[in-house]
């Protein structure tokens, strides 16, 4: 190597603003695996869906939306944005899921 030249193999220096992924824990990979498993087999027609089918579809949709939001949050954190994930509480109503998760920008 010539004097004054730089050569880096197998390493990319992180940008000064980048941060590690907040989704690095193995539990997040498990959530993705569960979503994939729930999505296998397709979606039967409305008339032929069993109670199990309805439960699988609902669980798949809930995980899909959650993971989409978490991915967006992860991208923002990794790029250095100052933000946090906030869960807004709603009154529990039997037979209904009302969950509000919001990515808030910190000032």
Is 46 domain-assigned? yes
DSSP 19-75: ---TT-SHHHHHHHHHHHHHHTT----GGG--HHHHHHHHHHHHHHHHHHHHHHHHH
> Has residue 14 got a pLDDT over 80?
no
**Percent of the chain predicted with pLDDT > 70:** 83
**Is residue 2 one of the residues assigned to a domain?**
no
Q: Is residue 10 pLDDT above 70, yes or no?
A: no
What is the tally of structural domains in the chain?
1
**pLDDT single digits (tens) 39-89:** 987 777 888 889 999 999 999 999 999 999 999 999 999 999 999 999 999
Residue 8: its pLDDT value, please? 35
Structural domain boundaries enclosing 68: 26-105
Confidence at residue 82, expressed as pLDDT on a 0 to 100 scale: 93
Instruction: For residue 1, tell me if it sits in a domain.
Output: no
65 lies in some domain: yes
Report field, pTM of the whole predicted structure over 0.85: no
Q: What integer pLDDT is reported at residue 13 of this predicted model?
A: 39
Distances (CA, A) of 86 to 70, 82, 101: 11, 13, 6
In a domain, residue 4? The reply is no
Any domain includes 82: yes
Instruction: Output the pLDDT for position 96.
Output: 95
- Is residue 16 pLDDT above 90, yes or no? no
Pairing outcome for strands 100-105 and 83-88: antiparallel
pLDDT value of residue 11: 39
Distance from C-alpha of 55 to C-alpha of 49, rounded to nearest angstrom: 10
């Amino acid at each position: 190597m010539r004097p004054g030249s730089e050569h880096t193999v197998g390493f990319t220096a992180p940008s000064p603003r980048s941060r590690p992924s907040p989704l690095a824990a193995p539990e997040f990979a498990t959530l993705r695996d569960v979503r994939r498993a729930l999505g296998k087999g397709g979606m039967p027609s409305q008339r032929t869906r069993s109670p199990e089918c309805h439960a699988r579809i609902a669980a798949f949709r809930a995980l899909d939306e959650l993971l989409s939001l978490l991915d967006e949050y992860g991208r923002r954190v990794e790029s250095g944005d100052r933000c946090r994930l906030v869960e807004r509480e709603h009154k529990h109503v039997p037979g209904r899921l009302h969950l509000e998760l919001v990515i808030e920008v910190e000032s």
